[in-house]
Structure 1
Amino acid sequence: MKKVAVILAGCGVYDGAEINEAVLTLLHIAKAGARYQCFAPDIEQLHTINHLTGEEMTPNRNVLVEAARIARGEIKAITELNVNEFDALIIPGGFGAAKNLSDFAVKGADAQVQDDVLHACTAFVKANKAAGYMCIAPAMLPLIYGQGVKTTIGNDQDTAAAIQQLGGDHQYCAVDDIVVDEQHKVVTTPAYMLAQSILEADAGIEKLVSKVLELA
Protein backbone atom coordinates (compact mmCIF):
# COMPACT_ATOMS: atom_id res chain seq x y z
CA MET A 1 0.00 0.00 0.00
CA LYS A 2 1.42 3.36 -1.03
CA LYS A 3 1.92 5.97 1.67
CA VAL A 4 1.71 9.72 1.09
CA ALA A 5 3.10 12.51 3.27
CA VAL A 6 0.73 15.51 3.27
CA ILE A 7 2.09 18.87 4.43
CA LEU A 8 -0.48 21.31 5.79
CA ALA A 9 0.07 25.05 6.25
CA GLY A 10 -2.38 25.69 9.09
CA CYS A 11 -6.18 25.79 8.93
CA GLY A 12 -8.14 28.21 6.78
CA VAL A 13 -7.78 29.67 3.29
CA TYR A 14 -6.58 33.16 4.29
CA ASP A 15 -3.83 32.20 6.74
CA GLY A 16 -3.32 28.44 6.52
CA ALA A 17 -4.18 25.36 4.48
CA GLU A 18 -7.29 25.59 2.29
CA ILE A 19 -9.60 23.21 4.16
CA ASN A 20 -11.55 21.88 1.16
CA GLU A 21 -8.33 21.21 -0.75
CA ALA A 22 -6.81 19.43 2.25
CA VAL A 23 -9.87 17.26 2.91
CA LEU A 24 -10.35 16.39 -0.77
CA THR A 25 -6.68 15.41 -0.96
CA LEU A 26 -6.99 13.08 2.02
CA LEU A 27 -10.25 11.65 0.67
CA HIS A 28 -8.82 10.84 -2.76
CA ILE A 29 -5.67 9.29 -1.26
CA ALA A 30 -7.87 7.01 0.86
CA LYS A 31 -10.29 6.22 -1.99
CA ALA A 32 -7.32 5.19 -4.14
CA GLY A 33 -6.37 2.60 -1.53
CA ALA A 34 -3.32 4.49 -0.27
CA ARG A 35 -2.51 5.79 3.21
CA TYR A 36 -1.46 9.25 4.38
CA GLN A 37 0.24 10.98 7.28
CA CYS A 38 -0.16 14.72 7.82
CA PHE A 39 2.70 17.02 8.82
CA ALA A 40 3.06 20.75 9.47
CA PRO A 41 5.85 23.07 10.61
CA ASP A 42 5.79 23.78 14.35
CA ILE A 43 6.06 27.55 13.92
CA GLU A 44 4.00 30.67 14.49
CA GLN A 45 1.78 31.69 11.58
CA LEU A 46 2.61 34.86 9.67
CA HIS A 47 -0.67 36.17 11.07
CA THR A 48 -4.12 34.90 12.00
CA ILE A 49 -7.12 36.08 9.99
CA ASN A 50 -10.76 36.27 11.09
CA HIS A 51 -12.34 34.40 8.16
CA LEU A 52 -15.67 36.17 8.75
CA THR A 53 -14.33 39.72 8.46
CA GLY A 54 -10.93 39.33 6.79
CA GLU A 55 -9.32 41.26 9.66
CA GLU A 56 -6.17 40.20 11.49
CA MET A 57 -6.74 38.66 14.94
CA THR A 58 -4.69 38.41 18.10
CA PRO A 59 -3.19 36.41 19.64
CA ASN A 60 -1.47 34.76 16.69
CA ARG A 61 -1.65 30.98 16.29
CA ASN A 62 0.71 28.03 15.66
CA VAL A 63 0.74 26.33 12.23
CA LEU A 64 1.01 22.76 13.60
CA VAL A 65 -1.69 23.30 16.24
CA GLU A 66 -4.07 24.78 13.65
CA ALA A 67 -3.34 22.09 11.04
CA ALA A 68 -4.17 19.47 13.66
CA ARG A 69 -7.81 20.61 13.37
CA ILE A 70 -7.95 19.30 9.79
CA ALA A 71 -6.02 16.11 10.58
CA ARG A 72 -8.27 15.33 13.57
CA GLY A 73 -5.16 15.45 15.77
CA GLU A 74 -3.34 12.81 13.71
CA ILE A 75 -0.43 15.02 12.68
CA LYS A 76 3.30 15.31 13.30
CA ALA A 77 5.82 18.13 13.23
CA ILE A 78 7.46 18.35 9.81
CA THR A 79 10.88 17.73 11.41
CA GLU A 80 9.65 14.14 12.00
CA LEU A 81 9.02 13.52 8.29
CA ASN A 82 11.32 10.71 7.13
CA VAL A 83 11.27 10.46 3.34
CA ASN A 84 12.19 6.76 3.49
CA GLU A 85 8.78 5.98 5.03
CA PHE A 86 6.79 7.48 2.12
CA ASP A 87 6.21 6.92 -1.58
CA ALA A 88 5.04 10.45 -2.39
CA LEU A 89 4.40 13.96 -1.09
CA ILE A 90 1.34 16.20 -1.59
CA ILE A 91 0.91 19.82 -0.48
CA PRO A 92 -2.57 21.40 -0.62
CA GLY A 93 -2.80 25.16 -1.08
CA GLY A 94 -4.33 28.04 0.80
CA PHE A 95 -2.51 31.29 1.58
CA GLY A 96 -0.62 29.46 4.32
CA ALA A 97 1.53 27.86 1.61
CA ALA A 98 2.65 31.37 0.62
CA LYS A 99 2.71 32.79 4.17
CA ASN A 100 3.85 29.95 6.46
CA LEU A 101 5.49 27.28 4.28
CA SER A 102 7.20 30.08 2.34
CA ASP A 103 7.18 33.89 2.23
CA PHE A 104 5.99 34.09 -1.39
CA ALA A 105 2.94 36.17 -0.37
CA VAL A 106 5.25 38.84 1.05
CA LYS A 107 8.35 38.62 -1.14
CA GLY A 108 7.14 37.28 -4.50
CA ALA A 109 10.11 36.68 -6.80
CA ASP A 110 12.49 37.09 -3.81
CA ALA A 111 10.73 34.36 -1.84
CA GLN A 112 12.30 31.63 0.25
CA VAL A 113 10.86 28.38 1.57
CA GLN A 114 10.75 27.89 5.35
CA ASP A 115 13.82 25.87 6.40
CA ASP A 116 12.08 22.75 7.76
CA VAL A 117 9.67 22.68 4.81
CA LEU A 118 12.53 23.06 2.32
CA HIS A 119 14.45 20.23 3.97
CA ALA A 120 11.41 17.93 3.82
CA CYS A 121 10.47 18.77 0.23
CA THR A 122 13.99 18.54 -1.17
CA ALA A 123 14.36 15.12 0.47
CA PHE A 124 11.64 13.85 -1.90
CA VAL A 125 13.45 15.46 -4.85
CA LYS A 126 16.75 13.81 -3.93
CA ALA A 127 15.00 10.46 -3.49
CA ASN A 128 13.36 10.87 -6.94
CA LYS A 129 9.90 10.41 -5.41
CA ALA A 130 6.65 11.78 -6.81
CA ALA A 131 5.04 14.95 -5.47
CA GLY A 132 1.91 17.04 -6.01
CA TYR A 133 1.42 20.73 -5.24
CA MET A 134 -1.88 22.58 -5.64
CA CYS A 135 -3.32 26.11 -5.65
CA ILE A 136 -0.57 28.61 -4.66
CA ALA A 137 1.81 25.91 -3.31
CA PRO A 138 3.41 25.40 -6.78
CA ALA A 139 4.95 28.86 -6.43
CA MET A 140 7.53 27.16 -4.18
CA LEU A 141 8.63 24.66 -6.84
CA PRO A 142 11.52 26.61 -8.45
CA LEU A 143 13.02 26.97 -4.95
CA ILE A 144 12.69 23.22 -4.36
CA TYR A 145 13.41 21.68 -7.78
CA GLY A 146 15.52 24.40 -9.35
CA GLN A 147 15.39 26.14 -12.71
CA GLY A 148 13.00 25.01 -15.43
CA VAL A 149 10.57 22.95 -13.35
CA LYS A 150 7.15 22.82 -15.06
CA THR A 151 4.36 24.12 -12.85
CA THR A 152 0.99 25.88 -12.79
CA ILE A 153 -1.12 28.08 -10.55
CA GLY A 154 -3.78 28.43 -13.27
CA ASN A 155 -3.75 31.71 -15.18
CA ASP A 156 -3.06 34.58 -12.74
CA GLN A 157 -0.57 36.68 -14.70
CA ASP A 158 1.20 38.40 -11.79
CA THR A 159 1.70 35.15 -9.87
CA ALA A 160 2.82 33.34 -13.02
CA ALA A 161 5.31 36.13 -13.74
CA ALA A 162 6.78 35.84 -10.23
CA ILE A 163 7.13 32.07 -10.69
CA GLN A 164 8.93 32.66 -14.01
CA GLN A 165 11.27 35.12 -12.25
CA LEU A 166 12.04 32.47 -9.64
CA GLY A 167 13.04 30.15 -12.50
CA GLY A 168 9.90 28.08 -12.95
CA ASP A 169 8.36 27.16 -16.30
CA HIS A 170 4.77 28.26 -15.71
CA GLN A 171 2.07 26.57 -17.81
CA TYR A 172 -1.45 27.97 -18.09
CA CYS A 173 -3.91 25.34 -16.92
CA ALA A 174 -7.69 24.91 -16.60
CA VAL A 175 -9.23 24.37 -13.17
CA ASP A 176 -10.07 20.71 -13.89
CA ASP A 177 -6.67 19.80 -15.32
CA ILE A 178 -3.11 19.10 -14.15
CA VAL A 179 0.41 19.91 -15.32
CA VAL A 180 2.88 17.04 -15.11
CA ASP A 181 6.66 17.49 -15.09
CA GLU A 182 7.66 13.92 -15.94
CA GLN A 183 11.38 14.61 -15.46
CA HIS A 184 10.93 15.83 -11.89
CA LYS A 185 7.92 13.60 -11.13
CA VAL A 186 5.90 16.59 -9.89
CA VAL A 187 2.21 17.29 -10.58
CA THR A 188 0.40 20.63 -10.11
CA THR A 189 -3.21 21.84 -10.39
CA PRO A 190 -4.81 25.28 -9.90
CA ALA A 191 -7.57 24.19 -7.45
CA TYR A 192 -8.94 27.30 -5.71
CA MET A 193 -6.63 29.63 -7.62
CA LEU A 194 -9.37 29.17 -10.24
CA ALA A 195 -12.15 27.07 -8.72
CA GLN A 196 -15.54 28.72 -8.20
CA SER A 197 -16.96 25.72 -6.36
CA ILE A 198 -15.90 22.64 -4.43
CA LEU A 199 -16.82 20.52 -7.48
CA GLU A 200 -14.43 22.48 -9.70
CA ALA A 201 -11.65 22.18 -7.12
CA ASP A 202 -12.32 18.47 -6.76
CA ALA A 203 -11.92 17.74 -10.49
CA GLY A 204 -8.27 18.82 -10.60
CA ILE A 205 -7.40 17.49 -7.15
CA GLU A 206 -8.70 14.02 -7.99
CA LYS A 207 -6.54 13.98 -11.15
CA LEU A 208 -3.51 15.24 -9.21
CA VAL A 209 -3.78 12.58 -6.50
CA SER A 210 -4.32 9.86 -9.11
CA LYS A 211 -1.28 10.95 -11.15
CA VAL A 212 0.98 11.30 -8.09
CA LEU A 213 0.09 7.78 -6.99
CA GLU A 214 0.69 6.52 -10.53
CA LEU A 215 4.17 8.11 -10.52
CA ALA A 216 4.93 6.87 -6.99
Structure 2
Amino acid sequence: MTTKKVGVLLSGCGVFDGAEIHEAVLTLLYLDQQGAEVVCMAPDINQAHVINHLTQEEMDPPRNVLVEAARIARGEIKDLADITADQIDALILPGGFGAAKNLSEFAFKGPESSVNSQVKQLLEAMVLAGKPIGALCIAPATVGMALKDMKPLMTVGKEEGVIGALAAIGVKHQLCAVDEIAVDEAHKIVTTPAYMLGPGIKDVGAGIEKLVKKVLSMT
Protein backbone atom coordinates (compact mmCIF):
# COMPACT_ATOMS: atom_id res chain seq x y z
CA MET A 1 0.00 0.00 0.00
CA THR A 2 1.31 3.44 -0.95
CA THR A 3 2.11 5.72 1.98
CA LYS A 4 -0.15 8.77 2.10
CA LYS A 5 1.75 12.06 2.08
CA VAL A 6 -0.07 14.72 4.13
CA GLY A 7 0.85 18.37 4.31
CA VAL A 8 0.47 20.12 7.66
CA LEU A 9 0.26 23.88 7.20
CA LEU A 10 1.50 25.69 10.31
CA SER A 11 1.08 29.39 11.09
CA GLY A 12 3.79 29.98 13.69
CA CYS A 13 4.16 28.62 17.22
CA GLY A 14 1.73 29.53 20.00
CA VAL A 15 -2.02 29.84 20.34
CA PHE A 16 -2.27 33.65 20.45
CA ASP A 17 -0.08 34.52 17.46
CA GLY A 18 0.69 31.25 15.65
CA ALA A 19 -0.28 27.60 15.44
CA GLU A 20 -1.99 26.08 18.49
CA ILE A 21 0.69 23.69 19.74
CA HIS A 22 -1.59 21.00 21.18
CA GLU A 23 -3.63 20.86 17.98
CA ALA A 24 -0.52 20.75 15.79
CA VAL A 25 1.17 18.02 17.82
CA LEU A 26 -1.98 15.91 18.04
CA THR A 27 -2.37 16.19 14.28
CA LEU A 28 1.21 15.00 13.80
CA LEU A 29 0.70 12.18 16.31
CA TYR A 30 -2.46 10.81 14.73
CA LEU A 31 -1.01 11.06 11.23
CA ASP A 32 2.05 9.11 12.36
CA GLN A 33 -0.12 6.49 14.05
CA GLN A 34 -2.00 6.02 10.77
CA GLY A 35 1.26 5.51 8.87
CA ALA A 36 1.13 8.76 6.91
CA GLU A 37 4.20 10.67 5.78
CA VAL A 38 4.01 14.24 7.08
CA VAL A 39 5.21 17.30 5.20
CA CYS A 40 5.20 20.33 7.51
CA MET A 41 5.10 23.72 5.81
CA ALA A 42 4.63 27.41 6.59
CA PRO A 43 4.85 30.69 4.68
CA ASP A 44 8.12 32.62 4.94
CA ILE A 45 6.53 35.85 6.22
CA ASN A 46 6.51 37.91 9.39
CA GLN A 47 3.77 37.25 11.94
CA ALA A 48 0.99 39.84 12.13
CA HIS A 49 2.29 40.54 15.63
CA VAL A 50 4.01 38.76 18.52
CA ILE A 51 2.18 38.00 21.76
CA ASN A 52 3.78 37.33 25.15
CA HIS A 53 1.91 34.15 26.07
CA LEU A 54 2.40 34.80 29.78
CA THR A 55 0.90 38.31 29.84
CA GLN A 56 -0.97 38.22 26.50
CA GLU A 57 0.53 41.61 25.65
CA GLU A 58 2.18 42.50 22.34
CA MET A 59 5.95 42.46 22.26
CA ASP A 60 8.89 43.27 19.97
CA PRO A 61 10.73 42.39 17.78
CA PRO A 62 8.77 40.73 14.93
CA ARG A 63 9.06 36.99 14.35
CA ASN A 64 8.99 34.91 11.18
CA VAL A 65 6.15 32.40 10.71
CA LEU A 66 8.35 29.76 9.04
CA VAL A 67 11.11 30.06 11.65
CA GLU A 68 8.63 29.84 14.54
CA ALA A 69 6.71 26.93 12.98
CA ALA A 70 10.01 25.05 12.63
CA ARG A 71 9.98 24.71 16.44
CA ILE A 72 6.92 22.45 16.23
CA ALA A 73 8.28 20.56 13.23
CA ARG A 74 11.65 19.91 14.93
CA GLY A 75 13.27 21.76 12.04
CA GLU A 76 11.79 19.48 9.37
CA ILE A 77 9.71 22.04 7.51
CA LYS A 78 9.27 23.41 4.00
CA ASP A 79 8.69 26.93 2.75
CA LEU A 80 5.06 27.03 1.57
CA ALA A 81 6.26 28.72 -1.63
CA ASP A 82 7.98 25.46 -2.60
CA ILE A 83 4.91 23.23 -2.12
CA THR A 84 2.36 22.35 -4.81
CA ALA A 85 -0.79 20.24 -4.63
CA ASP A 86 0.75 17.46 -6.71
CA GLN A 87 3.37 16.86 -3.99
CA ILE A 88 0.85 15.87 -1.29
CA ASP A 89 -2.24 13.68 -1.02
CA ALA A 90 -4.02 15.78 1.62
CA LEU A 91 -3.59 19.00 3.60
CA ILE A 92 -4.43 19.75 7.25
CA LEU A 93 -4.41 23.17 8.93
CA PRO A 94 -4.17 23.17 12.75
CA GLY A 95 -5.81 26.12 14.48
CA GLY A 96 -4.48 28.82 16.76
CA PHE A 97 -4.91 32.54 16.10
CA GLY A 98 -2.02 32.41 13.63
CA ALA A 99 -4.31 30.58 11.22
CA ALA A 100 -6.56 33.66 11.20
CA LYS A 101 -3.83 36.30 11.65
CA ASN A 102 -0.89 35.07 9.55
CA LEU A 103 -2.51 32.82 6.94
CA SER A 104 -5.32 35.35 6.47
CA GLU A 105 -6.59 38.58 8.02
CA PHE A 106 -9.81 37.03 9.34
CA ALA A 107 -9.04 37.79 13.00
CA PHE A 108 -8.70 41.49 12.15
CA LYS A 109 -11.11 42.13 9.28
CA GLY A 110 -13.67 39.29 9.34
CA PRO A 111 -15.52 38.85 6.03
CA GLU A 112 -13.58 41.77 4.48
CA SER A 113 -10.24 40.04 4.96
CA SER A 114 -7.87 38.65 2.37
CA VAL A 115 -6.05 35.31 2.43
CA ASN A 116 -2.29 34.92 1.95
CA SER A 117 -1.86 34.31 -1.79
CA GLN A 118 0.27 31.17 -1.35
CA VAL A 119 -2.26 29.70 1.10
CA LYS A 120 -5.18 30.50 -1.20
CA GLN A 121 -3.43 29.05 -4.23
CA LEU A 122 -2.66 25.76 -2.47
CA LEU A 123 -6.17 25.38 -1.04
CA GLU A 124 -7.76 26.02 -4.44
CA ALA A 125 -5.39 23.58 -6.11
CA MET A 126 -6.16 20.86 -3.56
CA VAL A 127 -9.90 21.14 -4.18
CA LEU A 128 -9.47 21.21 -7.95
CA ALA A 129 -7.31 18.08 -7.72
CA GLY A 130 -9.96 16.32 -5.62
CA LYS A 131 -7.61 16.06 -2.64
CA PRO A 132 -8.98 16.41 0.92
CA ILE A 133 -8.43 19.32 3.28
CA GLY A 134 -8.75 19.20 7.06
CA ALA A 135 -8.99 22.31 9.26
CA LEU A 136 -9.11 22.66 13.04
CA CYS A 137 -10.44 25.31 15.43
CA ILE A 138 -10.39 28.76 13.74
CA ALA A 139 -8.47 27.52 10.66
CA PRO A 140 -11.75 26.76 8.82
CA ALA A 141 -12.32 30.53 8.70
CA THR A 142 -9.25 30.95 6.51
CA VAL A 143 -10.21 27.92 4.39
CA GLY A 144 -13.73 29.34 4.04
CA MET A 145 -12.40 32.74 2.97
CA ALA A 146 -10.08 31.17 0.39
CA LEU A 147 -12.81 28.92 -1.04
CA LYS A 148 -15.83 31.18 -0.52
CA ASP A 149 -16.93 30.92 -4.15
CA MET A 150 -17.46 27.18 -3.56
CA LYS A 151 -19.69 27.86 -0.51
CA PRO A 152 -18.11 25.07 1.56
CA LEU A 153 -19.66 23.42 4.62
CA MET A 154 -17.65 23.53 7.85
CA THR A 155 -17.70 24.04 11.60
CA VAL A 156 -16.02 26.73 13.71
CA GLY A 157 -17.56 25.99 17.08
CA LYS A 158 -20.38 28.09 18.51
CA GLU A 159 -19.18 31.71 18.44
CA GLU A 160 -21.97 33.61 16.70
CA GLY A 161 -19.67 36.38 15.50
CA VAL A 162 -17.41 33.95 13.65
CA ILE A 163 -20.34 31.96 12.26
CA GLY A 164 -22.02 35.18 11.09
CA ALA A 165 -18.87 36.50 9.44
CA LEU A 166 -18.51 33.30 7.45
CA ALA A 167 -22.21 33.15 6.60
CA ALA A 168 -21.86 36.66 5.15
CA ILE A 169 -19.54 35.28 2.45
CA GLY A 170 -21.66 32.18 1.77
CA VAL A 171 -19.92 29.58 3.96
CA LYS A 172 -22.36 27.01 5.34
CA HIS A 173 -21.98 26.18 9.03
CA GLN A 174 -22.66 22.99 10.96
CA LEU A 175 -22.75 22.96 14.76
CA CYS A 176 -20.54 20.18 16.13
CA ALA A 177 -19.49 18.99 19.56
CA VAL A 178 -15.74 19.04 20.28
CA ASP A 179 -15.46 15.32 19.49
CA GLU A 180 -17.33 15.59 16.19
CA ILE A 181 -16.39 16.51 12.62
CA ALA A 182 -18.21 18.32 9.83
CA VAL A 183 -17.71 16.77 6.42
CA ASP A 184 -18.22 18.57 3.10
CA GLU A 185 -18.26 15.51 0.86
CA ALA A 186 -18.55 17.54 -2.35
CA HIS A 187 -15.33 19.46 -1.75
CA LYS A 188 -13.60 16.91 0.54
CA ILE A 189 -13.25 19.38 3.42
CA VAL A 190 -13.26 18.05 7.00
CA THR A 191 -13.39 20.37 10.03
CA THR A 192 -13.58 20.02 13.81
CA PRO A 193 -14.05 22.68 16.54
CA ALA A 194 -11.04 21.70 18.70
CA TYR A 195 -10.17 24.58 21.07
CA MET A 196 -13.01 26.73 19.74
CA LEU A 197 -14.92 24.56 22.22
CA GLY A 198 -12.27 22.78 24.32
CA PRO A 199 -12.04 22.49 27.25
CA GLY A 200 -8.97 20.23 27.39
CA ILE A 201 -6.42 18.39 25.34
CA LYS A 202 -8.18 15.02 25.66
CA ASP A 203 -11.41 16.61 24.43
CA VAL A 204 -9.94 18.25 21.35
CA GLY A 205 -7.88 15.14 20.69
CA ALA A 206 -11.01 13.05 20.11
CA GLY A 207 -12.20 15.32 17.29
CA ILE A 208 -8.75 15.70 15.76
CA GLU A 209 -8.27 11.93 15.62
CA LYS A 210 -11.59 11.54 13.79
CA LEU A 211 -10.61 14.32 11.39
CA VAL A 212 -7.25 12.75 10.58
CA LYS A 213 -8.83 9.34 9.93
CA LYS A 214 -11.56 10.85 7.75
CA VAL A 215 -9.09 12.94 5.73
CA LEU A 216 -6.91 9.88 5.09
CA SER A 217 -9.95 7.84 4.07
CA MET A 218 -10.77 10.44 1.42
CA THR A 219 -7.35 10.32 -0.26
Normalised to the residue count of structure 2, the TM-score between the two structures is 0.97
Alignment length, in residue pairs? 216
Match of 1:14 in 2: 16
Q: What is the letter of the counterpart of residue 3 of structure 1?
A: K
User: What's the RMSD between the two structures over aligned residues?
Assistant: 0.8
- The Cα offsets for residues 25-75 of structure 1, whole Å up to 9 and x where unpaired, read as 000000001111100000000000000000101001000000000000000
List runs of 5+ in structure 2 lacking aligned partners: none
Is the Cα–Cα contact under 8 Å of residues 40 and 76 in structure 2 kept in the other structure?
Answer: yes
Q: What is the alpha-carbon distance in structure 2 between the residues aligned to residue 162 and residue 70 of structure 1?
A: 30
Is the Cα–Cα contact under 8 Å of residues 123 and 143 in structure 2 kept in the other structure?
Answer: no
Match of 1:172 in 2: 175
Q: What is the alpha-carbon distance in structure 2 between the residues aligned to residue 40 and residue 120 of structure 1?
A: 12
Is the Cα–Cα contact under 8 Å of residues 3 and 86 in structure 1 kept in the other structure?
Answer: yes
Between the two proteins, what is the percent identity of the paired residues? Answer: 56
Secondary structure (helix, strand or coil) at the match of 2:100 reads: helix
Match of 2:155 in 1: 152
Match of 2:61 in 1: 59
Normalised to the residue count of structure 1, the TM-score between the two structures is 0.98
Match of 1:199 in 2: 202
Bigger Cα displacement from structure 2, 75-84 vs 46-55:
75-84
Is the Cα–Cα contact under 8 Å of residues 90 and 216 in structure 2 kept in the other structure?
Answer: yes
- The Cα offsets for residues 169-212 of structure 1, whole Å up to 9 and x where unpaired, read as 01111111000000000100000000110001101000000000
Question: Displacement of 1:85 after TM fit?
Answer: 1.7
2:108 alignment partner, one of 101, 106, 109: 106
List runs of 5+ in structure 1 lacking aligned partners: none
Bigger Cα displacement from structure 2, 163-172 vs 182-191:
163-172
Bigger Cα displacement from structure 2, 144-153 vs 174-183:
144-153
Does residue 142 of structure 2 align to residue 162 of structure 1? no
